[in-house]
Amino acid sequence: MISLNNIAEICGVSLGTVSKAIGGKPGVGEATRRRILTVAQQHNYRPNRLVHSIQRGRSMMIGVACNRFDDEFAGGMVTGIFETLFEANYDAMVIYWDRSVQKGVHVLNSLAERRVDGILMFPPASYPEGSYLDDLRSFPNPIIVLDQAWPGCEYDFIGSQDIEGALLATEHLIELGHRSIAHLGCRHTSTGEDRMKGFQKAMMRHGIAIHEKWVRDAWEPPFEDAYKIAREILEQPERPSAIMTFNDMVALQTMAAAHDLGLRVPTDLSVTGFGDLSIATPVRPQITTVKQDPEEIGRRAAQRLIERIEAKSEDQPRPKLIQDRLPTRLVVRQSTAPCQSAQ
């Protein structure tokens, strides 16, 4: 790719003049400018932004540390992130720190070495720990954590009101007369833990006993194990009349298990999801779920990160740590109904 130096040679002028001409700076004769611009265009000159990054000490690049790309919810957040970054003129460098990549490799280094101005981080399924946390701490620029937090997380966090959402879903079931309610969760993630807490809170509030054998966990997308677990729960002689699940995919697996056991949803079993993913509506019965707003989470996280970056470069007082949790909303559809065996 042609450089300013090359153009200078071609035009028989100095580097500085070319720089000014192309940068639209004053102090270049009209004829010279035109000549330079023509040559630049002919050779398809593009300014080298890597150089600018070095000179300004600001790369205008954000690091996005992703976990998985085949997940609609994560995808929604990423969409929001990119919209916001684009508007603010930031580019994005993406890394993938799945188990396959992780293997002890310190992927964060590449972000630091490329001098990203900040990091938007989707925590890996297992919370970061040890030398890995050290990596994070030694990163000099702002970090924002999305969706999943971990105990003692020292960074700004943007996510959903998971506890409240789970509470809504559970209370919805309780209001329908259900008392034998199972929870098929995902407690090794922080959202899973919170949703479990919301479940517990609702049950306690209404003085309903929680059966430990009905509190189980699915592993990870696409949550195929949820099918087996749901079956186990539903095959028992004493079975719940409702299952509150971690998310819509788990709900779907649960509904499949019920179906295969000859149980009708919602007549024989009510099921709630979480997330309001795009499968929640085309499926029959449509899934009663808790709506989240992944794109808005992404947008806010990106905005927040940019604020931090700008505050830092302007030497403003370091803003206080925030925890921003977007509201969730119950969407009642077809997978829940009044309890048949209600008193």
Residues that bind a second copy (CB under 8 A): 1, 44, 46-51, 53-54, 59, 61, 64, 68-72, 74-76, 78-79, 82-83, 86, 91-96, 98, 100-101, 107, 109-110, 112-115, 138, 140, 221-222, 224, 227, 249, 252-253, 255-256, 259-260, 278-279, 281-284
Comparison of 99 and 213: residue with beta carbon closer to a second copy: 99
314 touches which of DNA, a second copy, none (CB within 5 to 8 A by kind)?
A: none
Element (H, E) at 261: none
Tell me the closest approach of the beta carbon of residue 50 to a second copy, in angstroms: 5
Cα Rg of the chain, angstroms: 26
Please provide residue 99's backbone torsions phi and psi, each rounded to the nearest 5 degrees: -55, -40
Are 298 and 76 a contacting pair, CB within 8 Å?
A: yes
CB atoms within 10 A of CB 280: 23
* CB of 25 or CB of 206, closer to DNA: 25
Contacted by 32, from DNA, a second copy, none: CB < 5 to 8 Å by type:
DNA
Q: Are 91 and 60 in contact (CB under 8 A)?
A: yes
- Specify the residue, 95 or 233, whose C-beta has the smaller distance to a second copy: 95
* Nearest to 172, CA basis, from 321, 328, 8: 328
- Nearest distance, CB of residue 63 and DNA, angstroms: 17
Asked if residue 15 lies in contact with residue 51, where contact means CB atoms within 8 angstroms, the answer is no
Considering the complex, state which of residue 9 and residue 260 has its C-beta at the smaller distance from DNA.
9
Contacts to DNA from residues 45-104, by CB under 7 A: 47-48, 51-52, 54-55, 57
**By CB under 7 A, how many residues form the interface with DNA?**
29
Contact partner, 283, from a second copy, DNA, none, Cβ < 5-8 Å per class? a second copy
For residue 90, which of 137, 142, 145, 148 has the smallest C-alpha distance?
142
Instruction: Write each residue from 11 to 50 as x if it is in contact with DNA (CB under 7 A), else as -, in one continuous string.
Output: -xxxxxx-xx-xx-xxxxxxxxx-------------xx--
The site partner of 53 among DNA, a second copy, none (C-beta below 5 to 8 Å per kind) is a second copy
Q: Is 4 a residue that touches DNA (CB under 7 A)? A: yes
State the nearest-atom distance from the C-beta of 43 to DNA, in Å: 11
Contacted entry of DNA, a second copy, none for residue 41, CB cut-off 5 to 8 Å set by kind: none
Omega of the bond leading into 285 within 30 degrees of 0 (cis): yes
- Going by C-alpha positions, the residue among 175, 173, 157 that lies closest to residue 120 is 157
Cβ neighbours of residue 23 closer than 8 Å, sequence gap 6 or more: none
Q: What is the DSSP letter of 114?
A: T
Peptide bond into 128 cis (omega under 30): no
- Smallest separation, CB 81 to a second copy (Å): 9
In this structure, the strands spanning 323-326 and 270-272 are unpaired
Compute the distance between CA of residue 262 and CA of residue 267 in angstroms, rounded to an integer. 11
User: Which listed option, DNA, a second copy, none, makes contact with residue 26 (CB within 5 to 8 Å by class)?
Assistant: DNA
CB nearer to DNA: give 57 or 151: 57
Q: Which of 285, 228, 221, 229 is nearest to 249 (CA)?
A: 221
Which residues contact DNA by CB under 7 A?
3-5, 12-17, 19-20, 22-23, 25-33, 47-48, 51-52, 54-55, 57
